[in-house]
Amino acid sequence: MPGPRPKPASTVNAPIRHSPNWGGARPRPIVQEFLADRESVFGGDYPAFRVRVLEAFDGIIERNRGRTVVVVCHGMVMSVFLQAILGHDDPFRLMHDYCGILRVTASPNGIRTVRCVNETTHVRHLLD
């Protein structure tokens, strides 16, 4: 006996992922806020967020000259730092995976060299 017949895509009422009524349920307020204004994730002021991130990293670098330092932070913070090094101004252009490692060498003269982006080999066994 043959299985069910597939329906043409035009007759399927598939929800649109970014629709305010995705799946018939309203998304949480934070999602609604993000859909209305992407920069809301930065407190509504991306330029100020970027300044805070860069000042924080500059301070860490200044206080730890000649040392190896590990900074544990949210992926968006790493993305903003990386975008500043690469000269991007779109905060959503580069995104990190969860637990992704960003390696940067910082020189005292202000030069930042990206050594590795989004390294996830330490969690690869969890992703399979």
Predicted confidence at residue 75, as pLDDT, reads 85
Q: Which CATH superfamily is domain 45-127 in?
A: Phosphoglycerate mutase-like (3.40.50.1240)
Of 77, 102, 80, which Cα lies nearest the Cα of 91? 80
Q: What 3-state DSSP class applies to 29? A: helix
The residue that leads in pLDDT, 41 or 64, is: 64
24 is written with which tokens? Answer: 């018939």
Q: Which residue has the higher pLDDT, 122 or 16?
A: 122
Residue 115, pLDDT score: 95
- Evaluate if pTM is beyond 0.95: no
Alpha-carbon separation of residue 86 from 20, 25, 55, 68, 114 (angstroms): 34, 39, 17, 21, 9
Is residue 10 predicted with pLDDT exceeding 50? no
Q: For CATH 3.40.50.1240, list the domain ranges present in the chain.
A: 45-127
